[in-house]
Amino acid sequence: ARARGAGTGAIGAADATLPVAPAAPGLIGGVLSFRSLARLRMPAADGRYRRTERVTLEAPLSDGAVPAGARVLDRLGKPLAVPAKAGERIDAAGVRWMTVEVVLAPLTGGDYVIELEAMKDETRERKLFAIRVVR
């Protein structure tokens, strides 16, 4: 979607604001993705990764939510025997993040889903993140 201000040109568009509805309440927030080669970690702009890379996903957790695990699924939703290391970190601002790291070397080229799961009391929530492994 585009927003334009009352003025014309780039300056008018830069001053425009657009109201955004708050995110739906849940245990897991929006997922950020990163790619890693050795010790170098970079934000991933799309869901395509090479087999030589690692996928790192981070998602903010709501108050009281705890990571309940992560797993790699094939394109039909069946679990694969590929380790998905789930954890938790707290940033400098005090925000709790669920982290998931997956080494892609065991996978062949194709489409996969990384499932993140968190729980609070008796409530469980899943968040799915699609990736494509390329050569």
Domain CATH code at residue 67: 2.60.40.10
pTM over 0.85: no
Evaluate whether residue 5 is within a structural domain.
no
Place of tokens 């996928």: 55
Render pLDDT for 61-115 as a digit per residue (tens, 0 to 9). 999 999 999 999 999 999 999 999 999 999 998 899 999 999 999 999 999 999 9
**Assigned domain for 18 exists:** no
Q: Phi then psi for 63, rounded to 5 degrees?
A: -60, 130
User: Is residue 15 a part of any domain in this protein?
Assistant: no
How many residues does this entry show for the chain? 135
Domain count, the chain: 1
Burial of 84 (0-12, 13-18, 19+ CB in 10 A): buried
Q: Which contacts (CB < 8 Å, 24+ apart) does range 7-14 have? A: none
Domain range enclosing 36: 24-134
109-129 confidence digits (pLDDT tens): 999 999 999 999 999 999 999
